[in-house]
Structure 1
Amino acid sequence: MTEFGEAFKRLDQFIEQTMELAKVPGMAVAVTDRERLLRVSTYGFADVAAQTPVTPEMLFEIGSISKSFTSIALLQLCEEGRLDLHEPVTRYLPWFEVQSEYEPITLHHLMSHTAGIITGMEFTGEVRYEVWALRETEATAPPGTYYHYSNVGYKALGIVLEDLLGRHYGDIIQERILDPLGMIATEPIITHETRKRLAVGYEGFYDDRPLPRGRPLAPATWLEYAGGDGSIASTPADMAAYLRMLMNRGQGARGRILSEESFDLMTHKVIEAKEEGRGSYYGYGLEIRDTDGHTHIEHGGGMVGYYSYVMADMDDGLGVVVLMNGPGGRCDEAIAKFALKLLRAALHDQELPPIPPINPAKIENAPEYTGTYRAFPEQSRGAISKMLTLMAEGERLMLRYGDERMGLERRGPDRFYVDHPDFALFLLRFGREKGKVVELFHGPDWYTNDRYTGPTTFDHPQEWDAYPGHYLSFNPWLSNFRVVLRKGALALIGPSGDEKQLVRLGTDVFRVGEDGHSPERLRFDTILNGRALHANLSCGDYYRTFAP
C-alpha cells in the first residue's frame, strides 16, 4: 500500500501558506483513490466571529459542481428511454423560447454550454421565471458551435427533470444519485434547515471593488436555492464518494448509477472551453483536461460565500475535493492541482514536488512596465494624478504617487492591484502596441508613455455621455458594475476589475465583449438630466447610484 504521509505533510504546508496569504476563513479537503477515502483534513474557521473550527461533518455549498449531478440524472433518463438529448428543448418544455435565426436548441446544447445563450444574471431566486425570461434574449451562434458558459441553461435542464418526472429537483437528485452513492450527509437543495449545518460563507467587506489580500471579510448574504445549475451542499467525504464513482466510470460502492456508454458521453470532449483556460474541454457538466499526459476530469463551483473544486486523475485513479467558505483567488483549483501532483509522485515512488512559491508581489517582467505615464486632459478629466511613474526594483514593480512609493500586485495578464485608497476602485491595466507596453488605464483614466504612437483625440456619439456611471442592484451575485467612457469607447468594469468593451448594436444597446458571438447585452434607458438612470444587463436590472 502506498504511503502518502510525507505528501500529506507537504500538502498541509501549502494549504496553510495559501490560506494565510489569501485569508481564506476555512477549508475542508478530501483525498481519495478509486477504492477508498484516503484522508479528510480541515483548516481554519467555519465561523470566524465565534472561532468555531471547520469540522469534517460541516456542509459547504458546491455551486456549479452540481451541474454534473444534473447531467447524470438526464443521462439516466436517456438510458431508460424517457428522453433524447438531441431533441429540441421545446419537446420537454413547450414554453422554452429564445430569439434565434438558427436551428432549435437541444438538451445536448444546454448540457455542453453550446446553445449560444446568456450566462444568466441570477436576478431572481425563482428558476422558472429566469428561464422564461430567455425569450427576451437572443441566441448569437448556431447551436453546437460556440462555447459560452450558461447557468440559466442548466436551470432549464433542472426544470426538464422536474416536469418529466413530476417531482421536485431535490427529490430526484436524492433518489437517483445521493442515496445510491451513500452520500448521506449531502443536501440536494439549500434551505433554511440546511443553514444549520453549513459553515458560514464569507465575501469581501466591500462588494464594489477588487478584493485586497489580507483584508477583513464579511458574512455573505444568505440565500435559499433549488435549481439544476448549482444547489447542492456537501461534505468532503461525501464528495470523495462522488469522485470515486466518476473514477470508476459510473460504478458506485452500492452499484452502477451510470452505464459505461453514458459515462463516455458525459466525459467526451464536446467543445473546447476557451473561457475556462487553455487546454480545457467541456463534456456534460464536467471539464476534461490533458495534464502532464494524464486525463483529468474536474469542475469548480462558486456560490455567494462558498468556493469549491473537484479534480480526478482518471489514469492513476486519484481525486481531490477542496471546499472553502470564502474567496481565495482561485486557490481552490491551485490546491487541487498541487495535491494531485504530490499524490502522483508518492504513488510512483518519485521525489515529491516542492511547494510552489506564492508571492503576488513578485513580477518577473517588471521592467516591461516601467516609465512615466501622463494623462490626457481631454480623456481623463477626473484623473487622480496627471502623471504616474512605474519603477522596477528587482522583481517588484513600484508606483511613485506623489511622495509615496508602493508595490503593485499582479491580478492577471497586464493587470495589477495598488493597495492605496485612491486606487481602490479599479485595477491598473496596461495596454500594448506591437508587444510593447505603451499605455495605462485606471477606470475612466487613460495614461500613455513615450512609446505610445497612436491617436490622442477620439470622437464618440453625444448620447454616450449619458451612460458612464456606477450601476447597482440588490443581486448578491453581481451587485454592481461601472461603465466608463475612454478613448472614444465604452467599457463595463466589474467589481473584481474584469473589464469588457461595449460594442454598439443599436441606439442604446451594446454587446458585452469584443467576441462577436457573445450573447450578453447591456441596454440603457430612462435618461434624466443627461444621465441614464437604468441599465439592463442580460435581463438583470441595475440603477444608477450616487456612489462613484
Structure 2
Amino acid sequence: MLLSAALLALFSGSQPRPQISAAEFTKRTAQRIVASGVPGAALAVFRDGKLIHQQASGLADVEQRNPYTTELAFEIGSLSKQFTASALLLLVAEGKLALDAPLGTLLDDLPEAWRAATVEQVMQHVSGIPDYEESAGYDYYNEAHAAADIVRRAAEHKPHFNPGERFEYSNTGYYLLSLIVEKQSGLPFERFLATRVFAPLGMRSSYALERPTGVTVATGYHSRSGARTAQPPIAWSATLGAGGIVSTLADMLLWDEALYTDRLLPSALRAKLWEPARANDGSTIPYGAGWFTDRTRELTHLSHSGQTNGFSCAYLRFPEQQLSVLVHCNTYGGGRVDAIARAAAAHFLPALNYYLLPAPSDDDPDSTAEHLAALRQAVLKEGELELLGTGMRRFASEASFAGEREPLRALVNSSRSFHFLRQRSLGEGADAVEEFLYRQAHASGETFWTMRFAEGVLVSLNWEDE
C-alpha cells in the first residue's frame, strides 16, 4: 500500500537533535551488536595515535560461553591487502622491485593472458586476473593449497578485460603479489611480514602462520548452511596476503599510527596505498592499494572491509581528522559491522552526523511515498514485493535474514514521519543506481535510511540512528 503524499507531509519538519552522550553511544553500540545477530563483536576508535573508545559485546566462543573482549585476536581478511601492498612498496624503496614490472618477468608458470599485467595494476585490482574465490568459494580457505592450485582455480575463468581497462576485485592478484615478495626478498612471505612489518612497529600479537604465545583468537562461525558452525583457522597457504593475517585492535592502532609517518614507508610511496588508480582511458578509480577512497559530507576517508570463513571486519580512516574506526566480529556475513563503524565515525566526527543535514523541501512526494512502500515491503514483507530487487526480496522473505528484520519491524510499524533528505546518482551504465537518504521518526526515536534503487526497484538498504 502506498502512503499518500498528504499524510507524509503531515509528519515533515522534525528538528535536529544534539549529539548523544558517550554513555548513550556505548549503550546503542551494544544494542547494535546484539541486533545484528553476530556471536560477538568489538569496536575501537583511534584519534591522534591514541585509543579513545573501545567496547565489546557477545561471545567469543558460543559453546564455551566465553565473552568477546577487545583483547581478542581476529582474522582481518582483506585488510591483509594493505599489509601486502606495503610489503611490495618496501621492496620498491630498496630498489628490489619496480611497480611497472610485468608479472611475466617476475613469476613463472602463469597463464599467458596474465603475464602483461604490471605489479601496480595488480595492486589496484585493474589487472583483469580472475578471482579464484569466484570458483573455489570460502570453504576453500579452510584447507592448505599449493600456489599451482590457486592459479589453476583462477584460470578456470578467462580474464574479463585487458589490464588497465577497469576495476575488478581479485584475491588472486594479491596472492600472486605475496609470491613476488617472497621471490624478490628471499623470505617466505609470513617471515617477511613478521620481521619487516610487525616487529618494527611493535605488533607483537599479529601473525600470518604461527600464533605467538599468549595470543587468544576468537572462534569464528558461519551459518550459510542454516546452522551456526564453528570454523577452523584460516589456512595461510590458501590465501597468503590476500586475506590471511591475524591481528588485534591494539596492534591495529600501531599500524594505523604508522600510516601517518615515515616509520615504515617514505611518504611518496605510502601515498600509493590510497592514491586513486587510473584506467587506460584516464578515468579515476576510487581504489589505491588495499584502500578504497571516498568522500562523505566533504570529508575524505579511506575504507576497507575484511571477511574470512569465520570473521568480518570494517576499517574506516579519516586522515585529515586523524580518526579511525575498526569493528570486528566472529562470523562470516558480518552482521552489519560496516554500519556500526559508520555510526561510530558519525559520533566522533560531528560533521558526519546526519542530524546536521538540512531538510530540503520534497519536490517529489510521490516518489517518497513509493520509497516508504518499498521499505515496508523489505522489512514487513508487505504486498507483492514488486518494488524490490532480487537481493532485497531475499532479505524480505528468507529465514536467514529474520534476525536483521525483526528489530526493524518496530521502527517501521511505529513510523511517525518519513522525510526526504538527499538524492545522489552513483555509478554509470549497468552499474548506475539512485541513492536516497530519508529521516524517519518513530516511537523509539529516529532512524536514517539509505536506499538505493536501480531500474525502479530497491536493491540496497542501510539504516543508522546517528
Shared fold per TM-score greater than 0.5: yes
Q: Deviations over 1:2-42 (max 9, x none)?
A: xxx96543432332222222211111211111232223322
Q: 1:259-290 deviations in whole A, cap 9, x for unaligned?
A: 11001222111059xxxxxx981101111111
Cα displacement (A) at 1:94? 2.6
Q: 1:49 to 1:325 in 2, by over 3 A?
A: same
Aligned partners of 1:320, 1:335: CA distance in 2, in Å? 9
Amino acid across the alignment from 1:117? I
Distance 1:243 1:411 in 2: 38
Provide closer, same or farther for how the CA distance between residues 99 and 399 of structure 1 changes in structure 2, counting only shifts above 3 A.
Answer: same
Out of 263, 275, 279, the residue aligned to residue 268 of structure 1 is 275
User: Does the alignment pair 1:341 with 2:355?
Assistant: no
Counterpart residue identity of residue 170, structure 1: E
For residues 252 and 84 of structure 2, what CA distance do their matches in structure 1 show? Answer: 15
Aligned pairs, number: 358
**Counterparts of 1:150-229 in structure 2 under 5 Å?**
150-189=170-209, 197-204=216-223, 206=225, 217-226=228-237, 227-229=240-242
Q: Does 1:93 find its partner at 2:104? A: no
Aligned to 2:441: none
Matched with 1:105 is 117
TM-score (norm 1): 0.59
Aligned equivalent of 2:9: none
Paired amino acid for 1:266: L
CA contact (8 A) 2:49 2:253 kept: no
> Counterpart of 1:234?
247
Structure 1, residues 215-266: CA drift from partner, whole Å, max 9, x if none? x6222344432401011111111112212222x1x44xxxx10111001222
1:171 maps to a residue whose letter is R
Deviation of 1:190 (Å): 6.3
Which is richer in helix?
2
Cα displacement (A) at 1:129: 1.8
CA deviations over 1:380-431 (Å, ceiling 9, x no partner) = xxxxxxxxxxxx799844258xxxxx9x99985565432569x99xxxxxxx
**CA distance in 2: counterparts of 1:342 and 1:368, whole angstroms:** 30
Q: Per the alignment, do residues 271 and 203 of structure 1 end up closer, same or farther by CA in structure 2, a change over 3 Å counting?
A: farther
User: In the alignment, is the contact (CA less than 8 A) between 1:190 and 1:233 conserved in 2?
Assistant: no
Q: Residue 37 of structure 2 contacts residue 335 of structure 2 at CA under 8 Å; is this kept in 1?
A: no
Contact 1:190 1:232 in 2 (8 A): no
User: Bigger shift: 129-138 or 298-307?
Assistant: 129-138
How large is the Cα RMSD of the aligned pairs? 3.5
Deviation string for 1:116-143 (max 9, x for gaps)?
1211134463251244325554223121
Per-residue CA deviation, residues 327-372 of structure 1 (Å, 9 max, x unaligned), is 4555111111111111112xx8x98959xxxxxxxx97478679xx
Structure 2 residue matching 1:219: 3-state secondary structure: strand
| SS of alignment partner, residue 161 of structure 1 | helix
Which structure's relative contact order is higher, taking Cα pairs within 8 Å and 6+ residues apart? 2
Secondary structure of 1:146's match? coil
The answer on 1:141 being equivalent to 2:137 is no
Aligned to 2:458: none
* C-alpha spacing 1:132/1:74, structure 2 compared with 1 (3 Å): same
Q: Which amino acid in 2 is paired with 1:220? A: Q
| Counterpart secondary structure, 1:179 | helix
Q: Give the deviation of 1:180 after TM superposition.
A: 1.5
Take 1:395 and 1:78, find their aligned partners in 2: how far apart are those partners?
51
- Indicate the residue corresponding to 2:39 in structure 1: 25
Distance 2:117 2:399 in 1: 48
State the structure with more CA Rg.
Answer: 1
Measured in 2, the distance between the counterparts of 1:130 and 1:9 equals: 51
In structure 1, what residue type is equivalent to 2:193?
I
Matched, 1:66 2:77: no
Give the letter aligned to residue 204 of structure 1. Answer: S
2:29 pairs with 1:15: yes
> Which TM-score applies when normalising by structure 2?
0.68
Equivalent AA in structure 2 for residue 198 of structure 1: V
The one of 93, 96, 105 equivalent to 1:82 is 96
Q: For residue 320 of structure 2, give the secondary structure of its aligned residue in structure 1.
A: coil
Measure how far apart 1:154 and its partner are: 0.5
Structure 1 stretch displaced more, 137-146 or 91-100: 91-100
SS in 2 for 1:155: helix
Partners of 1:342 and 1:353 within 8 A in 2: no
1:153, CA displacement in angstroms?
Answer: 0.8
The one-letter code matched in structure 1 to 2:101 is E
User: Gapped runs of 5+ residues in structure 2?
Assistant: 1-18, 357-367, 403-466
Counterparts in 2 of 1:34-73, with a 5 A limit? 34-73=48-87
Say which structure is richer in strand. 1
